[in-house]
Structure 1
């Protein structure tokens, strides 16, 4: 019943401040007593911060301790309690343990099968995406039954993928920061069914429903910010756009990036950083093609990282993973404060797939899980192909080894063949297989080859350091470098030669992005626009008297023709708007390739312009890409064919703990 005497009466070196703790532990009044270990911890912290002198009582003679009324077992329990609390709560505060890095977990590889009968789409960049927490992936496929792109999502803990509704002709999936939504584009390129309109959509993983976000003319990547703003690249070259994730109208908020004294408006593949108003972005124009840098979204200033990249992923410990144009995967140190990479990247893998528009099939989650595919992907310009002549439903393979051809054209006499390989134009004499590489000078990215009727010139589109795709001509004997004959406001391509071999018909995207324009472009002189309704894929007959083109105006799109240059009444050749058409060498037939079959149509001019009923010449021509005019005497047409079995990607590779196992930098 007595009050306990001070602890210092029983142990000489006990500090007087400890008396208070023991008294409160043994206090009779419940309201005054310490209630729990947390209260005791606070007292111990106070003692550590306010050390006291040894109590006066501890200096008294030992005989004075006889005054105690405290039982020995009570003192022992109090001291034990204090020691326990000190060890549990006080000592870790006074002497915290040294931090020990947790061991790096090994990488775990897995292969994810795509849905049965589906292969990875080659023109849907970015083709794959992964949520920040690494739990869910999204990918775009094609199949023989559905040639148009389709978007799928898969929880990595589940056994099956889910088809995203309203995703026909989808491309470019990207996740919201919380992983609950997938953003994607539809209708901007490739095969699309009638009725699909261009735009951005978002799919909810919680409800399974798809909603519209905004309209768009084209699409070159997007990034979903934590504040709900989506940054995306629309039609090139128009800078970057933004829209609220809830939906609305896109705003072209940044017209161009400032690179020293130049401005670049062809911006693509934005990737927001964890730094306010900064994004990784790649330039898409001229000699700057695929040049990677950090873009200030407020000022437009572009800090060049001196890297050419086809895919990028900022990863932990201030590092950047990226894929170069040859498919090599590298890791480099990234300093977002100084907006620089301090040393060259270290190669960590190779043969990563490159898909459409020069974008690799590669992504990394914030938790370090990586997803990618390897090798060629069918459906884009970078695939293993062989060259053929198709005639009377049979084909002859040209004596050229299969390669990654991205363009071709035959000479009028059929003795020479021009191809685009590794960014160079190569002219091959077919009998002796001798090859000439044409001198392109500063021009890069040649595409859309067209051989002149007199056999002396090749027309093509390319870039010479600017931000637009222009039209050039070059002598096939390699005697001179290219000459630009059409400077495009945005993106142009040669379509047909006039019989004189001194004038071209050229397509150009109007700056408003709403239609293709058609121009007559002479070697010497100013271009003149051909006033015609919205069209696509215009082709002039060999004698220059008939213009063939796709009409996409109204509700009944069709392949039509009109007399030229007077633009007489339209004559319908074939219904639908997915035809790729070419003239026979003598102009008596049109060969047209659709998604399900290829047909030929006889064309007569007397007593009036008319087209016969189509005759099927090929079924399922999907493996043939970019048909071209035939040479005299063959009566057929040239095609590039994907080598059977090549580019068929039916699995994706997943690696957990990937980022943790990559090289680090001091």
Structure 2
């Protein structure tokens, strides 16, 4: 309370609260016993929408000075007026305060079919840049459009390259962006606001954000557009734009999607704390120092963005049931949360990622609607085509994974609505049932060789572990329990049940287990170092000999190169090609890339192209059943457009004219 009063009495107006809302939030935090104004690492999980970021009880003094008590009474009276205005009216029954987000209006900015995403708003809020993906899904370009305009200007026009993550400079004259998964062109670039004078700053990275003076960028080493899956950890570095030199790393742990505050004091980001799957928001001093965690909960929290006055942090979160935009007040002196998170949007449609203008009350975001179909088709090996593709079912859920059982009778799926759960149905889509129904993240399901048991990974004990259950949902059992902060994910089981591999979160790459010990397994074995460098991520075992296919990643030329590892000889066989691989037999792989496929013979080392388009719609995430010769694939029908949310005072009613 003393801190709030002193701030209200600051001689310099810029150092006082800048609005009644800011004062109201600070007072709420001071008088609410569930909020700790002293900050610190948050303890308990958020209970849900409107709960405090820091849920620990505040320490109260037994002696309350008279003067602060009178001050809080006066301030609380003023706060009551502002809170009343925010929550639906003002003290005198007038309209809402101008700029109140409860009076926001939603405006569509793009109307084209297909995919438009990752918008960046110019500082003045009058124009934006977004990522457009062509119909064939190959590559992406950056497009410029005026707010309210109908025509987009292609700024990059580089077919095949994946340009993404645009970010306007503070003065709006330049755009930083990334090129990813495109080979030698990968890196962070800067160009003029209309596409001129492009130059490369560094060779790798994503999600760039500008320093207020426009001389530096904060860049993540791993680009994020989907917070649900994290195949690798990331670092955030400050980079000098003039020479491309790395100045310093801002945080020792995992860090993605940085955003530099307009006043230059703080950089916000989110990351995965060691040993957990929590999406935690952080602030860190831009000049260097320790990062402060703002939350400790199991919700998906990502895409942090600073308000124009650097006193609120906006972010995307599913804490209200759908992916909406929230904000939390930030203490400018400490970077800690100073109140409760507040929902800015409440919509059944996913609205993220997003961006804010620094000079206006405008937000632009990606509005996404998605339907998933599961398609079954015979694989005609002789003529290299899919025969009679058939949709066995469709759902409004987002289905991330579909795995057919080895006997070809059951389909195992992971989806979210919005929690991440496991589902199973028969091969024709009948007898659809849910296996898990909880707040935990249940992911990466894989069948055992008997087609009755399934393995998956989950954070149901606070850290990611591998678990097992039967096809009917019974027999839940924990399989791994590694010591320290190391956790396991994405399991794969050999056909004879002897071996299991899993991603080792915290060290990156995969580890493996012999399934002969007492459960849960507490020790993992390491894969040998890869010739040529990089980390090996195991994905699927062969049907016969104990070989496992996966990919390598890291500081190597061929990122995500497909690699086969022999468990008996402990040797690698790099294939020199990229894509998603699955077994067609003991010596053949299916290699899927985009909506096309190739058959790769491990003996001849020759790929044979194999088209897998069905009805003109691309299919992805293939699961092949050797017993029936069938492919089971997901077809995602996604429509995304760019929308704007604008805080504006509502237009008053005009009384009807008196009858003549």
1:191-340 alignment to 2 at 5 Å? Answer: 192-197=181-186, 199-205=187-193, 208-216=196-204, 219=206, 222-226=209-213, 228-235=215-222, 237=233, 239-256=235-252, 265-285=253-273, 289-297=278-286, 298-304=288-294, 309-315=301-307, 319=312, 321-325=314-318, 326-330=322-326, 333-337=329-333, 339-340=336-337
Q: For residue 17 of structure 1, what is the aligned residue in structure 2?
A: none
Matches within 5 A, 1:448-487: 448-455=444-451, 457-463=453-459, 472-476=466-470, 477-484=473-480
2:350 to 350, 353, 367: 353
Question: Which aligned pairs between 1:585-604 and structure 2 lie closer than 5 A?
Answer: 586-587=585-586, 589-595=588-594, 597-600=596-599
2:526 to 525, 528, 539: 528
Once residues 211 and 432 of structure 1 are traced to their aligned partners in structure 2, the CA distance between those partners, rounded to angstroms, is 55
Aligned to 1:435: 433
State the superposition RMSD in angstroms: 4.2
Select 2:173's aligned residue among 163, 177, 180: 180
Instruction: Evaluate the alpha carbon distance shift between residue 395 and residue 362 of structure 1 in structure 2; reply closer, same or farther with a 3 A threshold.
Output: farther
2:581 alignment partner in structure 1: 581
Question: 2:121 maps to what in 1?
Answer: 130
Kindly tell me: are residues 471 and 163 of structure 1, through their superposed partners in 2, closer, same or farther at Cα, counting changes over 3 Å? farther
> Which of 481-490 and 268-277 deviates more?
481-490
Q: 1:129: how far off?
A: 0.9
Q: Distance in 2 between matches of 1:161 and 1:119?
A: 16
Query: What CA distance in whole angstroms lies between the structure 1 residues aligned with 2:393 and 2:136?
Result: 33
- How many residue pairs align between the two structures? 508
- Match of residue 384 from structure 1: 371
CA separation in 2, counterparts of 1:531 and 1:293?
34
In structure 1, the partner of 2:629 is 635
Measured after TM superposition, the shift of residue 244 of structure 1 is 1.4
Tell me how far apart the structure 2 counterparts of residues 103 and 436 of structure 1 sit (CA, whole Å): 46
SS in 2 for 1:226: coil
Contact 1:229 1:242 in 2 (8 A): yes
Q: For 2:496 and 2:162, locate their aligned partners in 1 and report how far apart those are by CA, in whole Å.
A: 40
> What is the match of residue 62 of structure 1?
none
Report SS of the residue matched to 2:294.
Answer: strand
Q: Quickly say closer, same or farther: Cα 1:221–1:416, change in 2 above 3 A.
A: farther
1:332–1:341 contact (8 Å) kept in structure 2:
yes
Q: Which runs of 5+ in 2 are unaligned?
A: 1-94, 223-231, 380-385, 518-522, 651-660
Q: Structure 1 residues 246 and 481, CA, compared in 2 at 3 Å: closer, same or farther?
A: farther
Aligned pair 1:398/2:392, yes or no? yes
1:176-210 deviation per Cα after TM superposition (whole angstroms, max 9, x unaligned) = 111112112222xxxx444333x222122267022
Gaps of 5+ in 1: 1-100, 122-126, 257-264, 377-382, 604-608
Q: Deviations over 1:293-325 (max 9, x none)?
A: 433443314152678544444446855544322
- Return closer, same or farther for 1:557/1:625 CA change in 2, 3 Å cut-off: closer
Whether 1:619 aligns to 2:613 is yes
Alpha-carbon distance in structure 1 between the residues aligned to 2:234 and 2:581: 30
Indicate the residue corresponding to 1:23 in structure 2. Answer: none
Larger Rg: 1
**CA-to-aligned-CA distance 1:629-653 (integer Å, 9 cap, x gap):** 3263x211221111xxx3222x422
CA distance in 2: counterparts of 1:563 and 1:283, whole angstroms: 34
Alignment partners' CA distance in 2, 1:487 and 1:600: 40
What's the CA shift string for 1:337-363, capped at 9, x where partnerless? 463343451454424535xxxx53454
Q: Retained in 1: the 8 A contact 2:142–2:164?
A: yes
Asked if the contact 1:316–1:659 (Cα under 8 Å) also holds between the matched residues in 2, the reply is: no
CA shift, 1:627, in A, is: 1.4
Q: Is the Cα contact below 8 Å between 2:421 and 2:441 reproduced in 1?
A: no
1:418–1:425 CA contact under 8 A, matched in 2: no
Separation in 2, partners of 1:518, 1:208: 43
Which residue number corresponds to residue 494 of structure 2?
498
The Cα shift of 1:452 comes to 1.7
Q: Do 2:551 and 2:562's aligned partners in 1 also have CA atoms closer than 8 Å?
A: yes
SS, match of residue 178 in structure 1: coil
